[in-house]
Chain A
Amino acid sequence: MAEQALSKAVDADERLRKTPLIRKLMNRPELGAVAGAILVLLFFAVFAGGSGMFSAKGMVGVLEVSSQLGILAIAVSLLMIGGEFDLSVGSMIAAAGVIIAIPAAQWGWPIGLGIILAFTVAAGVGYLNGLIVFRTGLPSFIVTLAGLFILRGLTIGFTRLITGRTQVSGLRDLSEGDWIAALFSGDVLTGLFAWMANVGIIALRPDGQPSVAGIPIIVVWFLIIGALATWVLLRTSFGNWIFAVGGDRVAARNVGVPVLRVKVILFICTAAAATLVATIQVLDAGSADTNRGLLKEFEAIIAAVIGGCLLTGGYGSAIGAMLGALIFGAVAQGIFFTGVNTDWFKVFLGGMLLIAVLFNNFIRKKVTESR
């Protein structure tokens, strides 16, 4: 009898009306970001269609800008789903940059060793952030705001102390032939782009080279990290724990989720993401600057929020953050190509943020509303 009742209840699916596709889509956190990305691309297709934004070179530019922010935004979105903020990522970019540059330029270290050191320091900074937030019970907003200033101050202070300036340059030659540095610099698919230029799919420069050498390595990192983060979030136990600690920390602890470990790992991820971006920037520019990464912490949060992350934690997606970064990149480049003064970019950013938050609140209500 129990068997019967059981199978009846389990089989009850067929009698149920199918959930409409639109309903399912409405329950995805990245819905707003998808709509936003399409809108923004359409907008610029109309207003900047002929300006070169949609040429191979223009699109690679959009991707590159998006990737820089996107790598940060993915890590920040995971942390936000876990219920915390990290405002120190911008300062971490500058710190990691000079940690790579100073030993190489001043003390003759191989650049790869500097990169390893930078990631080690980042892990330390993330660990410290997580530990302080957890042990003191203070909002991470405040703790990492302090981190923002301390880290930036230390970076400027030490750089001036050691080099007498706030910039470290001359790294381009030093990174040649370093296999660790090779992971973070250059382009991929250069052969394909050369071929595409030859058959006329993409334009040639006057000197006969293709207008774009290839896909910048940062785009590859962006896609790999995005895929990895999405897999972890949706398909692993750790992902479930991220949602749990962000949704309700006490509930998570009561059922045995290791809250401290989850949060510390997430803080280490954001610091490591900042270091990855810094490494690629330093190798690309051949120099480090203590002013790098200004305001990146906020831009990353904006991208994550546009991507559907709630400020209160427990909800969001890594794909959403990627799309948020793509919107960001498209608008940054689009404004440049349409010839509008870039001053207006910030107005747009603020507006987007406000709309995204309003939209997310609406979605949250929908998700938790009885059906």
Chain B
Amino acid sequence: MAETALIDVQNMSKFFGSVVALKDITVTVNAGQVLCLLGDNGAGKSTLIKTLAGVHKPSEGTFTVEGKQVTFESPRDALDHGIGTVYQDLAMVPLMSVTRNFFMGREPTRGRGLLQRMDIDAANRIAKEEMAKIGIDVRDPTQAVGTLSGGERQCVAIARAVYFGAKVLILDEPTSALGVKQASMVLRYIAQARARDLGVIFITHNVHHAYPVADKFTILNRGRSLGTFYKADVSREQVLEMMAGGKELDELSSELEEFTRADSTEGTSAQLEATAAAESALASAMKDETEKAHKQ
């Protein structure tokens, strides 16, 4: 490979006592690439990202960041190496303002010694600018984060990670609790981050959200990797099938067919159509965004 991967993990394993949480996982992310980490509940997605983020130490395997081997002692350590993780709980305090959340733990200061104080004006300005860059107009950066929508909150958390020097973004289920519109806002931002040459690891169990933005997929099942696939080589249905463990899904779909035959309701098909429409809208929005980003 000519390009040095931002993150390169080879044959990583993680054991908790006698429990094998991860076994022989290999993951690489380059700049300007979106890797989707897919897997059902309990597949080991969380353990993997916590290991990448410096919360856990890998039990086996090598972990290199931009060609250099690393061992993270703490999440702070990972952050210093440019790995920014946005957890599901977002690490946001709803009662605090957008600005105060944005700079929580890393406040810009003025003055020295006992007179050192937070540079509130600069903080407000930066928070507003950073949010504007991703197309969210925070009317008032002093408003509480609790007043923002779920998608906006997610974007604040991502913008914060980027602002503080993340080269690789690890996003833990950023769209799981969001509606279609909110999710597309977040997905659009992921596409933007890619256009700015950031590496993104996007954890989800929703293939429909993953497919439009991802460049490649790594599928986890019960702590093991089922392989990494480039988008060109694999269809949405194939990904879905592998993720759920093909057999079970086959059984499920044949069961569902039975139901459909028995009911032959119009509601189901109408619903399916609606989903398909929403998805194609999402995909075209993504395309626009990527094109725009490339033009810049």
A interface residue numbers (CB < 8 A to B): 1-2, 5-6, 9-10, 12-13, 16, 19, 231, 235-237, 239-241, 243-244, 247-248, 250-252, 254-257, 310, 314-315, 364, 367-371
Contact = CB atoms under 8 A, between A and B. Distances in A.
Nearest to A231: B117
Given A250-B91, A369-B147, 16 more contacts: A1-B295, A6-B129, A9-B132, A10-B128, A12-B137, A237-B118, A241-B105, A247-B93, A248-B89, A252-B93, A252-B105, A254-B91, A255-B104, A256-B76, A315-B95, A370-B149
Contact of B93 (A5, A244, A256): A244
Contacts of B137: 9, 12
Contacts of B163: none
B96 A255 contact: no
A368 B94 contact: yes
A142 to B, nearest CB: 24
A9 B135 CA distance: 8
A235 B135 CA distance: 29
B129 A243 contact: no
B238 interface: no
Contacts of B107: 237, 240
B242 interface: no
B197 to A, nearest CB: 14
A2 B296 contact: yes
Nearest to B152: A370
B174 to A, nearest CB: 16
Nearest to A256: B105
A12 B136 CA distance: 11
Chain A binding surface SS class: helix
B264 to A, nearest CB: 42
20 contacts: A6-B132, A9-B137, A235-B120, A236-B116, A236-B117, A237-B109, A240-B103, A241-B104, A244-B93, A244-B104, A247-B95, A252-B104, A254-B87, A254-B91, A255-B106, A257-B104, A310-B95, A314-B93, A371-B139, A371-B143
Contact of B129 (A10, A248, A314): A10
Contact of A12 (B103, B105, B139): B139
Interface of B: 75-76, 79, 87, 89-96, 100, 103-107, 109, 116-118, 120, 128-129, 131-133, 135, 137, 139-140, 143-144, 146-149, 292, 295-296
A254 B132 contact: no
Contacts of B94: 247-248, 368
B132 A367 contact: no
Contacts of A236: 116-118
A244 B135 contact: no
B118 A239 contact: yes
A318 to B, nearest CB: 16
B146 A6 contact: no
Nearest to B132: A9
Nearest to A8: B132
Contacts of B100: 240, 243-244
Contacts of A9: 131-132, 135, 137
B91 A251 contact: yes
B95 A364 contact: yes
Contact of B146 (A2, A250, A367): A367
Contact of A367 (B92, B144, B149): B144
Nearest to B139: A16
A70 to B, nearest CB: 23
A56 B139 CA distance: 48
Nearest to A312: B95
CB-CB nearest 9 A-B residue pairs:
A368-B146, A247-B93, A9-B132, A251-B91, A237-B107, A255-B105, A256-B105, A254-B91, A257-B105
Contacts of B76: 256
B118 A367 contact: no
A87 to B, nearest CB: 24
Given A10-B132, A240-B103, A1 B140 contact: no
A265 to B, nearest CB: 15
A370 B152 CA distance: 12
Given A240-B118, A243-B100, A256-B76, A6 B133 contact: yes
Contacts of B96: 240, 243-244, 247, 314
Given A5-B135, A6-B129, A10-B129, A248 B296 contact: no
Contacts of A239: 118
A254 B92 CA distance: 10
Given A6-B132, A257-B104, A368 B118 contact: no
Q: By CB atoms of chain B within 10 A, which of A19, A244, A254 has the most?
A: A254
A12 B139 CA distance: 8
A367 B128 CA distance: 19
A256 B140 CA distance: 25
Given A19-B140, A370-B149, A235 B117 contact: yes
Contacts of A16: 139
Nearest to B76: A256
B37 to A, nearest CB: 20
A1 B107 CA distance: 30
Given A235-B117, A254-B75, A314 B95 contact: yes
B92 A251 contact: yes
Contact of A255 (B91, B129, B292): B91
Nearest to B128: A10
Contacts of A240: 96, 100, 103-104, 107, 118
Contact of A368 (B75, B116, B144): B144
A12 to B, nearest CB: 5
Given A9-B135, A12-B137, A243 B95 contact: yes
